[in-house]
Amino acid sequence: MRFLLKREMTMEKFTTLSSTAIPLDIENVDTDQIIPARFLKATDREGFGNNVFRDWRFDKNGNENPDFILNNKTYSGNILVAGNNFGCGSSREHAAWALTDYGFKVIVSSFFADIFKGNALNNGLLPVQVPADFLKVLLSEIKNKPDTQLIVNLELQTISIKGTSFKASFDIDAYKKTCMINGYDDIDYLLSKKQTIEAFEAKKTY
Amino acid sequence: MGKTLFDKVWDAHVVDAIENGPQVLYIDKHLIHEVTSPQAFNELKERDIPVFRPDQIVATADHNTPTINQHLPIKDLLSKNQLEQLSDNCKKNNITLYELGHKYNGIVHVMAPELGFTQPGMTIVCGDSHTSTHGAFGTIAFGIGTSQVAQVFASQCLLLSKPKSLRVTINGKLRAGVLPKDVILYIISKLGTNSGTGYFCEYAGDVFKNMSMEGRMTICNMSIEMGARGGMIAPDQTTFDYVEGREYAPKGEAFDKKVAYWKTLPTDVDATFDKEYFFDAEDIEPMITYGTNPGMGIKITENIPNINDASFEKSLEYMDFKKGESLINKPINFVFIGSCTNSRIEDFRVAADYIKGKQKAQNVTAWLVPGSKQVESQIIDEGLKDIFVNAGFELRQPGCSACLAMNDDKIPQGEYCVSTSNRNFEGRQGQGSRTILASPLVAAAVAIEGKIIDITKQLN
């Protein structure tokens, strides 16, 4: 198993990443698939990578499913390239913890569910949303050439295939971008606003 | 230009804003449960940050609780530990917990409205995507991740960008036997599972105006299944009547003052939405799902569509269904009536009304799981329990149960379950289980017949 990175409580800084990628050509991947509910009994954030995509990776007896892409040794890397509407369903942040614990640093899709996207950003996992056409080409390139190197540049907000002109730009909230680049999280900012929050509470009109 | 219901509630809660970035949104009520809170409590502890407003937090145990013998110690050690951590964390931080066995314990989205915690015009969050349920009261309510749970603990606020607005209007009168669950499954089948992503959805028109609060909660509950963070219905007399007199609702003059404010909340006539959809109530019929996301729904009388798409085919393969086939007469061995979508008293009344005088089919295991201790008491007081027991159904104790199968309530591998819950994802109700979503009426009928039937024939 590829535990490339253990997440710390504080956010890891993110600037650029060059890596091969794993093509998960399935749409509507829900968070129940990313981490099934029966693994949510843990009370810390560590170790969820063991069970990421559990029921797609293993059968009921714990044997590897050779058809599932994560078990195909041809493909590796810190980038998961997935079908449309990735991360739909449950709000469980365990999904983001499982993906980062397994070693992913970037998820590419043509569409992300809201809650998952926020959870990913809060854990230093970068969701890169690209146009559907771009995703299609990306998936087929990686499938055909598993050593395809992708370059994700957060500063410039671009994703490209190394050594080619194939490139797309992606959107990210300016505040979240600063957080990702510097490893900040929201709590420190909110705590700095304590006085404003207390003043709001005192003057609430509703 | 006029404002929407959503605009009015959102704007009243903006504390501050980051230039070209998110806003600081004040949260009135924070609901927590055992599964998504422990890591947030740990984070606060490690960073030595106190819980800012413990009085605004309501805690319950629901996801991981057994639904039989709740008075006995919990056998599963991991579940036991998780529940103990919740008790411990609440105690240390002065948070009121309605723990297992408490007379107000229940699924967070059933017990909070029941106790009057949920009120119009509020902002409510919970580490659970079905927090959208509370939007039925004209509330901005949405699910959050555990990092955000920690943020609300620390500051009673969240950093958020304002979502776009979407309105679904359905006018006309629903046909007999068409329940709120059918309405929302119909909407999602038409719009798809991601049409609402990035939006907050308002439901408007005759159908929702004429709906009970229980029905409105079923509708708003499943907003997340079309991707919308939340759904809302304008508060009206039905809302005020539901809230009035509940344990934690304002009383007397304070209540009247609130009602006067709540009456100002509905969307202005000249307000505009980023997206609008219109449907006709007459077009809606009892629904069922055939695939592995809630958007894969059809009228019970329709056949599975013929779509050439790899993800669609993967889904049908999992369900062991074929393109173009009808689901009528499919044998079903498991029926589940429960979950934060359909475990309120009205849902059990509908089921009991159909079941009365009939017998459950031999092949069916049927679990009825009330949403809360209060719903359980109502079922007993109204004599519904006798109807269920006489018909061979099992009335269990409150909890999330087989909706997500975190406890022992699991559907076996390969089996179909006609379920009143909200998600038909692969393995959602147990490894290898196959979920078919439906209303409590359809679920009750399937339990009696032991197979999927064309309920519309009985209704006409």
Check CB contact under 8 Å for A190 and B227. no
Closest CB to A118 among B145, B156, B293? B145
Check CB contact under 8 Å for A33 and B426. yes
Whole-number pLDDT of residue A4: 28
Task: Work out how many CB contacts closer than 8 A connect A with B.
Answer: 187
Assess whether pLDDT exceeds 80 at residue A46. yes
Closest residue of chain A to B258, computed from CA coordinates? A206
Whole-number pLDDT of residue A9: 36
Chain B closest-CA separation from residue A163 CA (Å) = 31
Residues of chain B with pLDDT under 70: none
Whole-number pLDDT of residue A7: 30
Chain A closest-CA separation from residue B194 CA (Å) = 7
Whole-number pLDDT of residue B358: 97
Whole-number pLDDT of residue A183: 85
Average pLDDT of chain B to the nearest whole number: 97
Whole-number pLDDT of residue A11: 63
Assess whether pLDDT exceeds 80 at residue A1. no
Percent of residues, chain B, with pLDDT higher than 90: 99
Assess whether pLDDT exceeds 60 at residue A124. yes
Check CB contact under 8 Å for B128 and A91. yes
Please report the domains of chain B, with CATH numbers, ordered by start residue.
5-275 (3.30.499.10), 303-459 (3.30.499.10)
Whole-number pLDDT of residue A2: 30
Chain B residues 178-217 within an 8 A CB cutoff of chain A: 193-194, 197-198
Chain B closest-CA separation from residue A114 CA (Å) = 6
Percent of residues, chain A, with pLDDT higher than 70: 94
Closest CB to B311 among A28, A45, A206? A28
Whole-number pLDDT of residue A185: 86
Q: Which residues of A touch B314 (CB under 8 A)?
A: 26
Closest CB to B155 among A25, A185, A193? A193
B248-286, pLDDT tens digit by residue? 999 999 999 999 999 999 999 999 999 999 999 999 999
Whole-number pLDDT of residue A184: 87
Q: Which residues of A touch B65 (CB under 8 A)?
A: none
Query: What would the 3-class secondary structure string for chain B be?
Result: CCCCHHHHHHHCCEEEECCCCCEEEECCEEEECCCCCHHHHHHHHHHCCCCCCHHHEEEECCCCCCCCCCCCCCCCHHHHHHHHHHHHHHHHCCCEEECCCCCCCECHHHHHHHCCCCCCCCEEEECCHHHHHHHHHCCEEEECCHHHHHHHHHHCEEEECCCEEEEEEEECCCCCCCCHHHHHHHHHHHHCCCCCCCEEEEEECHHHHCCCHHHHHHHHHHHHHHCCCEEECCCCHHHHHHHCCCCCCCCHHHHHHHHHHHCCCCCCCCCCCCEEEEEEHHHCCCEEECCCCCCCEEECCCECCCCCCHHHHHHHHHHCCCCCCECCCCECCEEEECCCCCCCHHHHHHHHHHHCCCCCCCCCEEEECCCEHHHHHHHHHCCHHHHHHHCCCEECCCCCHHHCCCCCCCCCCCCEEEECCCCCCCCCCCCCCEEEECCHHHHHHHHHHCECCCHHHHHC
pTM score, whole prediction: 0.96
B303-326, pLDDT tens digit by residue? 999 999 999 999 999 999 999 999
B291 vs A: CB within 8 A: no
